Structure 1
Amino acid sequence: MASFKAAAVQMRSGTEPGANIETLRRLVGEAAAAGASYVQTPEMTGMIQKDRARLFEQLKPEAEDGVVAAAAELAKRHAVHLHIGSTAIALGDGKVANRAFVLAPDGAIAARYDKIHMFDVDLDNGESWRESAVYRPGEASCLVDLPFARIGLAVCYDIRFPHLFRDLALAGAEVLTAPAAFTRQTGEAHWHVLQRARAIENGAYVISAAQGGLHEDGRETYGHSVIIDPWGRVIAEADHDEPAVIVAEIDPATVAAARAKIPNLKNARGYQNAAAVHSAEQRQTA
């Protein structure tokens, strides 16, 4: 496949979807003007709101969601594949989907992915998150074939689960994605090493658009949207937490070259699970 330009859009989404959509329009326009044919936005593009009651007041089902409608219009206007990293979608059962969308240049939805892994953590300095209290986790991984590459979808905390990315790579993904709203605390510690590790171990590009800065609801995210090549090199980065657009050339031939040099996807072998063997030995001696 021929090379193409990919863009990652860094945002600082607030609590009002309308304002976020206007920012989306401006930044996607900048990405398209820079020649990108694939444009990715961060997790929670449409709204960052940690107050559950206010979140539910603003939520819409997919068919009525303003971000989805705006994304379809933007994909058509700019003739790009537009990947909304995720936005909150009402499911009608008291739960919410953290859902990614890929819109084709004709405005049709080419793929949907609901974030599988919920960010339920207790960090230092009293920072605590319980995504599972609001969001219903997804149950299926997602690949989408675009004219220029096969792309594997993931969202934020998914990046810490390497088996998901390995499965996507084994299924032929040349580009892996993890649009995010990483906290500043976890981003400063782990963001770059996780992005580079997923690229290196799978011989794939990794594109991760990020939220950045101090948001209206009081949370703070790390920014530093990145595009990593299959050898683990950072080929584009927003080296800050301000809204921005980064662009890089993506060449699928580079994926094949990296996987030929280190064919770990082919060299993987099955093995006995140590915990299962140990448990069986314990039962035999009991």
Structure 2
Amino acid sequence: MTAQTDVAGPVRVAAGAYPVDFLASWADFETKLTRWVADAAARGAELLAFPEYAPLELISLLPPELRHDVRGMRAPLQAFLPDFLALHERLARQFAVAIVAGSYPVAHGGTFVNRAFVFGPDGTVSHQDKLLMTRFEAEEWDIAPGEGVRVFDLPLRAGGTLRFGIAICYDSEFPSLARHLAEGGAELLVVPSFTGSRAGYTRVRVGSMARALENQLYALHAPLIADAPWTYAVEDAHGASGIYAPADHGLPEDGVVAQGAWNEPGWLITDLDVTLTRNVRRNGHVLNWRDRHVGGTRPAAAQLVTLGSAPEPA
């Protein structure tokens, strides 16, 4: 496991419940995104997370015949990508913040992947691809899984760094992915999501909370909000932003650090104190992080036990 970094104090983070709009021009997108980043930065946030597929409001700038053609739209969307990257890099530098951009279907290796670009406050650019695809992505959209996970080391204004990893939507529902990130030093799991129902949102929320519990770290959930009948790609999206932690010493008893309102766009901005989660790893009522190896190796293959025969009908 990678050694912990020094963190001088609480870190202010922002989880975006971002609404899909029908745009008249690229300038509309640039104005909107600038307003969002400026707002979070003015409120002191150092790490801003946008939802999965948030940039797909750019579909409104494509020809009408492509707006419901989920496979046909993928290649034309690449035309916006250079300006998309340049805009985020400029905003990260201008406001001295780190940005997890809304994930984008990016052409890669002869196919398309769901990629969340990450921008440091000096404009450094990296990314995390989604690794596990939903049925819609795999069967209808033909979006392919990426490869590998990354842990991002964010320098903080007060000194020290914050290490975080990203689990895009469905990825948050699989323990091993978050475990690799935590063992790589991540103390915050960022979960951008696009879910078309309360059931889908609940799966990602429960997954985020479970990953926070198992790894005794924070999880930040940023959901997409959409009522966009003009595109099949993201016509309905529902959720509420949230920030979660293990329910233990010094942390909320229900594991909910902060929770946004249902389908309400805006930033959920919260200060996270990683000394609390570190203390829980050392001295919690339970030690999930310490016990992760034995928890994975102690159980053997399940044995089937037949509990007798069925009773005779009365």
Amino acid at match of 1:274: A
Amino acid at match of 2:238: Y
Q: 2:199 aligns with which of 186, 209, 214?
A: 186
The answer as to whether partners of 1:85 and 1:180 remain within 8 angstroms in 2 is no
With over 3 angstroms needed to count, the CA separation of the structure-2 counterparts of 1:248 and 1:160, relative to structure 1, is same
Give 1:230-241 correspondences, 5 Å limit: 230-231=246-247, 233-241=255-263
| Equivalent-residue separation in structure 1 for 2:144 and 2:162 (angstroms) | 29
**TM-score with structure 2 length normalisation?**
0.77
Tell me what 2:208 maps to.
195
Tell me what 1:7 maps to.
14
Tell me what 1:248 maps to.
270
Q: Secondary structure at the match of 1:66?
A: helix
| Equivalent-residue separation in structure 2 for 1:168 and 1:208 (angstroms) | 16
Tell me what 2:70 maps to.
52
| Equivalent-residue separation in structure 2 for 1:236 and 1:188 (angstroms) | 16
Tell me what 1:274 maps to.
301
| Equivalent-residue separation in structure 1 for 2:29 and 2:113 (angstroms) | 18
Q: Secondary structure at the match of 1:178?
A: strand
With over 3 angstroms needed to count, the CA separation of the structure-2 counterparts of 1:208 and 1:256, relative to structure 1, is same
| Equivalent-residue separation in structure 2 for 1:65 and 1:145 (angstroms) | 24
Q: Secondary structure at the match of 2:163?
A: strand
With over 3 angstroms needed to count, the CA separation of the structure-2 counterparts of 1:106 and 1:240, relative to structure 1, is same
Structure 2: 5+ residue stretches without partners: 1-6, 60-67, 156-160, 248-253, 305-314
Tell me what 1:142 maps to.
150
Q: Secondary structure at the match of 2:94?
A: helix
Query: Sequence identity, in percent?
Result: 30
Tell me what 1:65 maps to.
82
Q: 1:84 aligns with which of 63, 76, 101?
A: 101
| Equivalent-residue separation in structure 2 for 1:158 and 1:220 (angstroms) | 20
Q: 2:112 aligns with which of 70, 90, 96?
A: 96
The answer as to whether partners of 1:20 and 1:45 remain within 8 angstroms in 2 is no
| Equivalent-residue separation in structure 1 for 2:300 and 2:131 (angstroms) | 24
Q: Secondary structure at the match of 1:265?
A: coil
| Equivalent-residue separation in structure 2 for 1:173 and 1:188 (angstroms) | 23
Tell me what 1:265 maps to.
289
Tell me what 1:24 maps to.
33
Q: Which structure: larger Rg?
A: 2
| Equivalent-residue separation in structure 2 for 1:143 and 1:169 (angstroms) | 9
With over 3 angstroms needed to count, the CA separation of the structure-2 counterparts of 1:243 and 1:66, relative to structure 1, is farther
Q: In the comparison of the two structures, how many residue pairs are matched?
A: 266
Amino acid at match of 1:114: D
Q: 1:164 aligns with which of 159, 167, 177?
A: 177
RMSD between aligned residues: 2.5
Q: Secondary structure at the match of 2:231?
A: coil
Tell me what 1:221 maps to.
237
Amino acid at match of 1:225: S
Deviations 1:156-212 (A, max 9, x none): 111111111122112221001110111214235434322221111111100111101
Amino acid at match of 2:39: E
With over 3 angstroms needed to count, the CA separation of the structure-2 counterparts of 1:21 and 1:208, relative to structure 1, is farther
The answer as to whether partners of 1:6 and 1:248 remain within 8 angstroms in 2 is yes
Deviation at 1:37, TM superposition (A): 0.7
Structure 1: 5+ residue stretches without partners: 121-128, 279-286
The answer as to whether partners of 1:180 and 1:211 remain within 8 angstroms in 2 is yes
| Equivalent-residue separation in structure 2 for 1:140 and 1:15 (angstroms) | 34
Tell me what 1:151 maps to.
164
**TM-score with structure 1 length normalisation?**
0.83
